[in-house]
Amino acid sequence: MTIDVRLPTVLRQHAGGQAIVQAEGSSIGEVLVDLSRQFPTMSDQLLTEKGELHKFVNVYVNDDDVRYLDKLDTKVEDGDVVSILPAVAGGDG
Amino acid sequence: MIRITENRLTAIFAHCLSGLPYEACGLISAKDPGSEDILGWYPTENVANSARYYTIDPKGYLMADKDAESRGEAIVGVVHSHTHSDPYPSPTDVLQAPDSTWHYIIVSLRHTFPMLRSFRIESGNIQEERVVVIKK
């Protein structure tokens, strides 16, 4: 199925400036692999060499963080919206 | 350069002061990535609960991102406070800067009055930018 994926500004440069793209898949893992196929330069921003979700990236199905669901095995259905956001952190330490 | 209203600046200072003794953080929005006119301010929780580090609450970021999108805007930068040091990006800030198009605003609470500066961070290079305060 085709899922809408919302991209943060940092990833839009890899997708021709688009804020929302479409990807195929029935799980988050499949959606991210399809995104990487469509936009190869985005790949290493999303997944590690081991195929795991990069620790500096948060992925949501609608409003739910997939790390608290089934991670990359989290199912997606027609009408779901996937959001990808970078982890934002820092400090003077 | 960024342009920000006096009211928004005051809200940012208030959020940073209310976060003490911890660092405070939030996100800013504008019409487009890299835009100089700051149109939205989203205070968020520092889930690191630390006086030396901050982590934007991921759920707060998602809500801010969706709200900005609904108004035709995008999240274009992050604000955080330094509780005991000057308003300049630390090595941690530089290492973890996610987006070279973003504005990185730092508020120092080291002295009696808050001091705010803004930077661009690209490939580890720090470039300060002017902050213009608009009276509105």
- Predicted confidence (pLDDT) per residue in B107-125, tens digit: 999 999 999 999 999 999 9
Per-residue pLDDT of chain A (93 residues; tens, 9 = 90+): 899 999 999 999 999 999 999 999 999 999 999 999 999 999 989 999 999 999 899 999 999 999 999 999 999 999 999 999 999 999 876
Cβ B52–A93 below 8 Å, yes or no?
yes
A60 at B interface, C-beta within 8 A: yes
Q: Which fold has domain B2-134?
A: Cytidine Deaminase; domain 2 (3.40.140)
pLDDT at B34 over 90: no
The listed CATH number (1.20.140.10, 3.10.20.30, 3.40.50.720, 3.40.800.20) that belongs to domain A2-86: 3.10.20.30
Smallest CA–CA distance, residue A44 to chain B, in Å, is 14
Find, in chain A, the residue whose alpha carbon is nearest to that of B44: A88
pLDDT at B58 over 80: yes
pLDDT at B136 over 80: no
The answer to whether the beta carbons of residues B103 and B83 sit under 8 Å apart is no
The pair of structure tokens assigned to B104 is 């990185």
Output B75 or B98, whichever has higher pLDDT: B75
Cβ B58–A65 below 8 Å, yes or no?
yes
Provide the pLDDT for residue A93: 61
Which of B58, B74, B92 lies closest to A93 in CB terms? B92
Domain boundaries, chain A: 2-86
